[in-house]
Chain A
Amino acid sequence: MSETALHLDAARYTWGGDEFLFVEIAEGMSLAANFKANAMAAALGSRDLSGITDICPANASLLIRFNPDDLPPSALEEAVRGVEAEVAQMSQHTLQTRIIEVPVWYDDPYTRETGVRFRSGHQRPEGNDLDFAAEENNLASPAEFISRHHESPWLVSMVGFVAGLPFMFQIVPQEKQLEVPKYLSPRTDTPALTVGHGGCFACIYSVRGAGGYQMFGIAAAPIFDPAQRLSDFDDFMIFFKPGDIVKFKPVDEAEYREIQELVADGSFTYRQAPVVFDLERALAHPTEYNQEIMEHLNGH
C-alpha cells in the first residue's frame, strides 16, 4: 500500500547559486509529492545540521538555504539524499495535523470591484472571475463552482510567496480538481484576504498586493497578524503551516460583519480540531475520508 501511495521517482537535485539547494520531488502536483516534500523537510529539520538557515517545503519540491562556509555543498547534498532514502523507508504515511474552518464571503463586493478594475488583463473581459472559473470547469453556474470549492477540504501544501500565504490543494481525485488559469497579466492590486485560485491551487492572500490568481471571495478573519493581537497568533504571527487542512465555510454579509466585529475587539478565534491525516486512506477513498476528517470540526 505504501508503495502505491508514494510511487514517485527519485528526486532531482540542483543548485540555486552557492546558498540554495533545490530538490524537485515531482514535476506534477500530487498529494504524494507534497507529502514527501513535507516529510523530507521535517526529517531534515530534526537532524539539526549547523549551516542550514531555511528549509522551505513547497508543493512538489523542497528549497534549502545554507551557508557554504559552515556546511559544504557536498555534505548538504549527502545529508538530504540520506533524508530522501529515510523517507522512502517510511511505512506509515500519516500526519499529525489540524483541521481549521475558514469563513469566506464568496462573490463579495471587494474582490468583484478589484476584478472590474483589472478586466483588461483578463482572458474573459465580460463577466467576472467566478463566471470564468465555472465555465473553465464545465460547471453550470458560479454557485456550483462555489459549492465545489467549499464542500471538500483542502491541504495547505506550501506557505509563502508573501508572509503567511497558504497554497492549498483540494483533497479530491485529480479529475475533480478545480483548475483555473491565472490572469494573463498579473494585477498590481489584490485585497488582503482574497480567496484566489491559479492552476490547481487555492490561496488566501495574506496581505494586499500584486497577484495573478482568479478571485472568488474574501476570508473574514486575518491569517497574518504581525502585532499578534488575536489569540490564534500567540505563538507566531503566521497562522498556517504546511500540512494544515482547511474547510472553507461560506458566510453571508451579515455573518462576515459579525466576524469582523469579533476580529476588531480581539475575541475572534478559528474553529479548529486536531486530526491525523492518513495519506493512503485519502488516496483510496477520498469522499468518505473527507467526510470523516470534516467531522472532527463537530467534535467527532
Chain B
Amino acid sequence: MAIRITEPGLATTVQDTGRPGYYHVGIPQGGSMDQLSAEMANALAGNTPAEAVLECTYIGPRFTTDADAVIAVAGAPVDVLVNGTPREQWTRLELAVGDEVSFGMIRAGTRYYIAVQGGIDVPVVLGSRSTYALGAMGGFEGRTLKASDTLDVGTAGSERHASAADFIDESLRPTFAKQITVRVMPGLYDHRLTEEGLDTLFSATWQLTPVADRTGLRYAGPSVSWKPRVQPFGAGSDPSNIVDAGYAIGSIQIPGGKEPIVLHRDAVSGGGYAMVATVISSDMDLLARSAPGTQTTFTPVTMEEALAARAEGKQIRSRIWGSAGQ
C-alpha cells in the first residue's frame, strides 16, 4: 500500500522515535518533536510506538491512499477532513481506497501527527526512518514532502497490534496552552550568569518568537546579564562564549544575554555559546507543542524531580497501550 501526496503542507516530514547514537559526529537524534502525540497516533492506528508517522507543522498535507487503510491523527487541534467531511482526531479512522484526506487550519499548538497502520515505510538510515533535512538524509529522500511524492506503507501492521487503543481519553490527551511552565535543571555554565541574570531567567515570562523549528526555539524577553571576565583561550570575546563544546538537547543558551534559545530534537550538536539550564526530558514535548507567542516560564527543578516526572510520563504511556502494556 502507498499514500500519494497531492499537497505537501508546510513542512511535513517522516519521523519516528529518533536516531540516537550519532550525536558525537553531529547527527542529531531527530524523531517526532512531540513524541507523546506521535505515540498516541500510532496506538490508535494499531501500530507499535516504533512505526514512522508523518509530522505536520501548521499546515498539513492532502493525500489519498491506493488501498483501504487505517489512520489516526493526534496532536495539535485541527479539522480532519475525509472527502471534505469532518472526522475526529484521537480516534481510529478507516479509509476506503481513493478517499482523500485533508486538514483545516490548526486551532492551537504547532504540530500534529498522522499514523498509518503498518507505518510509513521509508529506508532505515542509521537505525531510524526520521528525516534529518539539514543533512539531507533519512525520511523520504532526506527532505520535507512535495506534491506527487508516493510513500510506501509497511505491511507488518496489517493486523492490529494487540494493545492498540480505540480512542484516547480526553484526560490523557496533551493540552495546547498559550501559557506554559517548563521545568528545567540549572547547570552547565549557569555559574557564569550574574545572580540577577539567573534570577531573570527563572522569574521572567518569555514569549516564543516565530524563530522556532525542529532545531530550536528562540524566546523574547528581558536581557540577562553575564559576569564579566577575561575570556579563556579559544573561547571568543563575548562573556556568553565558551570554547566550543557539546550541546545538551533541551539546553538553553543566551547569546549576548539576549533572546534565550532552547535546542530541540534536531539540535546542532555543539557550538560556542554557554548553556545555563536544560529542559527536562519530560517537558520536551510540551515545548514542541508551543506556538509562537506562547508565554513561557522556566522553573528550576532538581534531578530527583526530573526523574519523578519521567516516571509519571511512563505511567501515562502505559495507560495508552492498555493492559497489554509497552
List the interface of chain A (C-beta within 8 A of B): 14-20, 22, 24, 26-30, 41, 53-63, 65, 68-69, 73, 158-165, 167, 169, 174, 177, 179, 181-182, 198-201, 206-207, 209, 224, 226, 237-238
CB atoms of B248 and A181 under 8 A apart: no
CB atoms of A69 and B303 under 8 A apart: no
CB atoms of A27 and B20 under 8 A apart: no
Q: Number of contacting residues on B, CB 8 A?
A: 51
Which B residue sits closest to A62, measured CB to CB? B246
CB atoms of B272 and A199 under 8 A apart: yes
A interface footprint on B241-253 (CB within 8 Å = 1, 0 otherwise):
1111111111100
* In the complex, B275 has a CB within 8 A of chain A: yes
In the complex, chain B residues whose CB is within 8 Å of the CB of A69: 310
CB atoms of B23 and A54 under 8 A apart: yes
Which A residue sits closest to B241, measured CB to CB? A199
CB atoms of A60 and B271 under 8 A apart: no
B175 to A: closest C-beta gap in Å = 22
CB atoms of A163 and B134 under 8 A apart: yes
Contact for B24 among A59, A61, A160, CB less than 8 A:
A160
In the complex, chain A residues whose CB is within 8 Å of the CB of B132: 163
In the complex, chain B residues whose CB is within 8 Å of the CB of A14: 187-188
CB atoms of A59 and B245 under 8 A apart: yes
> Do A162 and B26 contact each other (CB < 8 Å), given the known contacts A29-B235, A199-B234?
yes
* In the complex, B43 has a CB within 8 A of chain A: no
CB atoms of B303 and A15 under 8 A apart: yes
In the complex, chain B residues whose CB is within 8 Å of the CB of A16: 185, 187-188, 248, 250-251, 275, 278
Which B residue sits closest to A74, measured CB to CB? B303
Contact for A161 among B26, B233, B234, B307, CB less than 8 A:
B26
How distant is the Cα of A158 from the Cα of B125 in the complex, in angstroms? 23
CB atoms of B185 and A164 under 8 A apart: no
CB atoms of A18 and B244 under 8 A apart: no
A interface footprint on B229-267 (CB within 8 Å = 1, 0 otherwise):
000111111000111111111110000000000000000
Of the candidates A24, A55, A209, A226, the one having the most CB atoms from chain B within 10 angstroms of its own CB is: A226
> Do A56 and B185 contact each other (CB < 8 Å), given the known contacts A161-B269, A181-B237?
no
B55 to A: closest C-beta gap in Å = 20
How distant is the Cα of A30 from the Cα of B233 in the complex, in angstroms? 8
How distant is the Cα of A197 from the Cα of B310 in the complex, in angstroms? 41
* In the complex, B105 has a CB within 8 A of chain A: no
* In the complex, B3 has a CB within 8 A of chain A: no
CB atoms of B25 and A163 under 8 A apart: yes
In the complex, chain A residues whose CB is within 8 Å of the CB of B275: 16
> Do A27 and B236 contact each other (CB < 8 Å), given the known contacts A15-B185, A18-B280, A237-B137?
no
How distant is the Cα of A162 from the Cα of B280 in the complex, in angstroms? 23
How distant is the Cα of A24 from the Cα of B280 in the complex, in angstroms? 21
* In the complex, B325 has a CB within 8 A of chain A: no
Contact for A159 among B25, B235, B249, B268, CB less than 8 A:
B25
16 pairs, A vs B, C-beta closer than 8 Å: A15-B188, A17-B248, A17-B306, A18-B307, A20-B251, A22-B187, A22-B245, A22-B248, A28-B232, A54-B23, A56-B23, A59-B243, A63-B23, A163-B26, A167-B270, A226-B125
* In the complex, B27 has a CB within 8 A of chain A: yes
In the complex, chain A residues whose CB is within 8 Å of the CB of B251: 16-17, 20
Contact for B280 among A17, A41, A60, A165, CB less than 8 A:
A17
CB atoms of B236 and A224 under 8 A apart: no
9 smallest A-B Cβ distances: which pairs? Answer: A16-B248, A63-B246, A29-B234, A17-B278, A28-B232, A160-B269, A20-B248, A160-B26, A18-B306
How distant is the Cα of A224 from the Cα of B137 in the complex, in angstroms? 11
CB atoms of B246 and A22 under 8 A apart: yes
CB atoms of B234 and A200 under 8 A apart: yes
Contact for B246 among A56, A164, A182, CB less than 8 A:
A56
B23 to A: closest C-beta gap in Å = 4
How distant is the Cα of A84 from the Cα of B75 in the complex, in angstroms? 44
In the complex, chain A residues whose CB is within 8 Å of the CB of B242: 27
CB atoms of A59 and B244 under 8 A apart: yes
A interface footprint on B8-26 (CB within 8 Å = 1, 0 otherwise):
0000000000001111111
CB atoms of B269 and A15 under 8 A apart: no
How distant is the Cα of A200 from the Cα of B248 in the complex, in angstroms? 23
* In the complex, B136 has a CB within 8 A of chain A: yes
Which B residue sits closest to A60, measured CB to CB? B243
Given contacts A159-B24, A161-B270, list 15 more A-B pairs with CB under 8 A: A15-B185, A16-B275, A17-B280, A18-B185, A18-B310, A53-B20, A54-B20, A59-B245, A63-B247, A65-B23, A68-B310, A162-B135, A199-B244, A201-B244, A226-B137
Contact for B272 among A18, A22, A65, A182, CB less than 8 A:
A182
Contact for B26 among A18, A61, A62, A165, CB less than 8 A:
A165
How distant is the Cα of A198 from the Cα of B244 in the complex, in angstroms? 10
A123 to B: closest C-beta gap in Å = 10
* In the complex, B279 has a CB within 8 A of chain A: yes
In the complex, chain A residues whose CB is within 8 Å of the CB of B282: 18
How distant is the Cα of A61 from the Cα of B235 in the complex, in angstroms? 13
CB atoms of B236 and A61 under 8 A apart: no
Which B residue sits closest to A162, measured CB to CB? B26
In the complex, chain A residues whose CB is within 8 Å of the CB of B244: 58-59, 158, 161, 167, 199, 201
A33 to B: closest C-beta gap in Å = 8
* In the complex, B281 has a CB within 8 A of chain A: yes
How distant is the Cα of A274 from the Cα of B295 in the complex, in angstroms? 55
CB atoms of A53 and B248 under 8 A apart: no
In the complex, chain A residues whose CB is within 8 Å of the CB of B270: 56, 58, 63, 158, 160-161, 167
In the complex, chain B residues whose CB is within 8 Å of the CB of A17: 184-185, 248-251, 278-281, 306
